[in-house]
Structure 1
């Protein structure tokens, strides 16, 4: 199939939104400028755990180059841009008086987007908790819900005149799993893991209430990373481990937020952290379901892990991206249908993308046919889900720019735009032109 061919979009609804996504810590840089406070990722970058000892200190320098980046979006033709606000940039200590320089940055960014005809979609939390709040217990402190509500009150007051689309959290399952259960950041008890889950859910509910009260016409959701959890083998132990991880990865947050209940298998563990009325505080009316999806995950039993699961081997027959993630468009279509069945909300796909380490060729161009084929296959799968009745209303590519990819640092590139980190020059890849062509072709 030639890479110039576009995917089938015939079943997508009129007014379907095409966009791109980024996040604050991954692109902004300027971590020590204009009064910004420290985040937990600034501290973690000092730990030596990040590949090549990379940091977010400069990242893509979006803080200074946002006009150039909005220009890229305008050239791309996207109708919407999902970004996140860095909590410690607007409230350096997490609470108290606003940092006007930080607030002003987002004012300028939002105004630039609006002037370009691009709708701002604001994500309130994409993992960069103020370090000052981490030192007060972070998400393990039940007061974190009130801290978050205060922060959201500021955001609503300052940006709610121009921003109407809000996501409370990005991938709460991922930052809880990798900090408390799967990852190396903190080896903590099972009880702390469940406490964190519940407090983040409480913060979500509190944020929804603040936005409803303070932003006229607010359209609100939460962004969940849903990846089918499949056993690495046919053994009963691996099948049980996959089922356990599925609960925490795919249900621990959307079930209480959208259905008003925790999955049965984790209720006893959550119970010690519950207070009367908590599920009502969490389950607030939402307008849409934000879905991030990349691939299935393969799971094995591991007796010495906290909850008995770990990542396992992928089947040899499964094609992989250059960074080793399975390519499985059918799993994307199945996930969309499962979300529709379980939650009954309109769906916006707010992250989907392809990681590699591609570099410019001898002519200076960045040719990435693998990314084009991946996006084409996944958009075809989304169209198939829509043909089967899934109310999917938008698709945002991760990401506009190559960026800081967490523990992988700058070694992995997801962008439609190549970033030369030495010069910070932006080079649109061949996938950038392909996506722009798709958007032009489907616009009325």
Structure 2
């Protein structure tokens, strides 16, 4: 069998998000988030599921860190719950919230695991949403204060920092398609939110530099790939729009100080204007240390008029799909790496999310998720190909450590390396856990 090797010092790990795993939604001073409100609204989340308990990692974090340690991971990416720190979004600091994350981080460091802290993974304090949420520029000021508090509290303990997770989802899934909290369907609001998220990112990075915080800082961007069905101009432009809304819209302002002209023109044709104020683009264009790459799927696609926001139609060509319905298209990840490298230069890339939703069944105390293992094999091969081609990829984080609250899908879609019985909260290592542990230990895999 062929052997795929990875560089010495490659950063192996896994990732989670606060609302998806912590639970303890109403304990120890935590305020409401938009996901508390959304999940408790009938019809918004499948089966009426909520994150009230989730995986109960708030109380079981030591057990979960032990799972990480036994796996041999080098990096653990988690997010801080903003309403656990500031229950109302601003003012009124909750010391119990800071204490929880301090205990978590200390335990990770004790186990030799580098913390990667994400400041915002979608759980906006509801009190701020009541004042307009991310569409209100004052939320950017509140985020800056929150970020400064977290920076100062954990300076010297965290090696990797991320500002905003998947701004495409926080802007468009949440405010245009309406499938994520707060559930709006307004394109202008989505555009306003996307800009303010970028502004919040830029101000946080600038604060990070001004305060002299230790470590490296970046963002975590949605990525996908669309291969044109033909070489017709309309097909290539449709695919460019799909790739670009994921990548260019959120990274061009950071690296080039401007939004991509072709998408600005596209949105203007739909009657939407960018809410750019003086100094905004300069604030956004702050140097970052790495790009976080979140990739799950891609497709072949072509132009089709009046199809969705971008006039694009996916063409399924006998792809296998994960249980959530996404095509398995590992070559798309390889192409994303080259696209990022060509567009933004040799910026270090860190795969901060990649994984598969599978039908996981417990049989005789075991979960034989070989379909997930195959997914990882395909995508890690794409990572290796890019590294061998000279692209600077510094690490890979599997999504996710454990099964969890999968947003609007509730608990019916599992991505974890660890199986969670949501009635007992018992954790069980899947076959993919043991496979990934071996890859980490060896620094290579057989395919």
Q: Sort the TM-score into its range (normalised by shorter chain).
A: over 0.9
Q: Tell me, what secondary structure is at the counterpart of 1:82? A: strand
Match of 2:260 among 263, 268, 277: 263
Paired with 1:237 and 1:18, the residues of 2 have a C-alpha distance of: 40
Match of 1:143 in 2: 138
Match of 1:177 among 152, 172, 185: 172
Paired with 2:333 and 2:241, the residues of 1 have a C-alpha distance of: 21
- Superposition deviation, residue 232 in structure 1: 7.4
Paired with 2:17 and 2:229, the residues of 1 have a C-alpha distance of: 32
Asked if 1 retains the 8 angstrom alpha-carbon contact of 2:241 and 2:263, the reply is no
Match of 1:248 among 230, 245, 248: 245
- Superposition deviation, residue 250 in structure 1: 2.0
Paired with 1:70 and 1:102, the residues of 2 have a C-alpha distance of: 18
After the TM superposition, which of the residue ranges 324-333 and 389-398 deviates more from structure 2? Answer: 324-333
After the TM superposition, which of the residue ranges 341-350 and 73-82 deviates more from structure 2? Answer: 341-350
Asked if 1 retains the 8 angstrom alpha-carbon contact of 2:418 and 2:427, the reply is yes
Match of 2:40 in 1: 46
Match of 1:427 in 2: 428
Mapping for residues 381-420 of structure 1, pairs under 5 Å: 381-420=382-421
Match of 2:354 in 1: 352
Match of 2:370 in 1: 369
- Superposition deviation, residue 14 in structure 1: 2.8
- Superposition deviation, residue 230 in structure 1: 4.7
Q: 1:241 to 1:179 in 2, by over 3 A?
A: farther
- Superposition deviation, residue 225 in structure 1: 1.2
In the alignment, does 2:304 pair up with 1:326?
Answer: no
Alpha-carbon displacement from aligned partner over 1:198-223 (angstroms, at most 9, x marks no partner): 11111000110121222432300000
Q: 1:234 to 1:323 in 2, by over 3 A?
A: farther
In the alignment, does 2:186 pair up with 1:189?
Answer: yes
In the alignment, does 2:17 pair up with 1:23?
Answer: yes
Asked if 2 retains the 8 angstrom alpha-carbon contact of 1:29 and 1:63, the reply is yes
Structure 1 unpaired stretches of 5+: none
Q: Tell me, what secondary structure is at the counterpart of 2:403? A: coil
Alpha-carbon displacement from aligned partner over 1:405-434 (angstroms, at most 9, x marks no partner): 011111011000000000000000011001
Match of 1:212 in 2: 209
User: TM-score with structure 1 length normalisation?
Assistant: 0.92
After the TM superposition, which of the residue ranges 313-322 and 398-407 deviates more from structure 2? Answer: 313-322
In the alignment, does 2:129 pair up with 1:127?
Answer: no
Asked if 1 retains the 8 angstrom alpha-carbon contact of 2:299 and 2:316, the reply is no
In the alignment, does 2:105 pair up with 1:105?
Answer: no
- Superposition deviation, residue 331 in structure 1: 1.1
Asked if 2 retains the 8 angstrom alpha-carbon contact of 1:367 and 1:430, the reply is yes
Asked if 2 retains the 8 angstrom alpha-carbon contact of 1:7 and 1:380, the reply is no
User: TM-score with structure 2 length normalisation?
Assistant: 0.92
Paired with 2:44 and 2:236, the residues of 1 have a C-alpha distance of: 31
Paired with 2:383 and 2:97, the residues of 1 have a C-alpha distance of: 37
Q: Tell me, what secondary structure is at the counterpart of 2:219? A: strand
Paired with 1:277 and 1:138, the residues of 2 have a C-alpha distance of: 21
Structure 2 unpaired stretches of 5+: none
- Superposition deviation, residue 278 in structure 1: 1.4
- Superposition deviation, residue 233 in structure 1: 8.6
Asked if 1 retains the 8 angstrom alpha-carbon contact of 2:331 and 2:382, the reply is yes
Asked if 1 retains the 8 angstrom alpha-carbon contact of 2:155 and 2:214, the reply is no
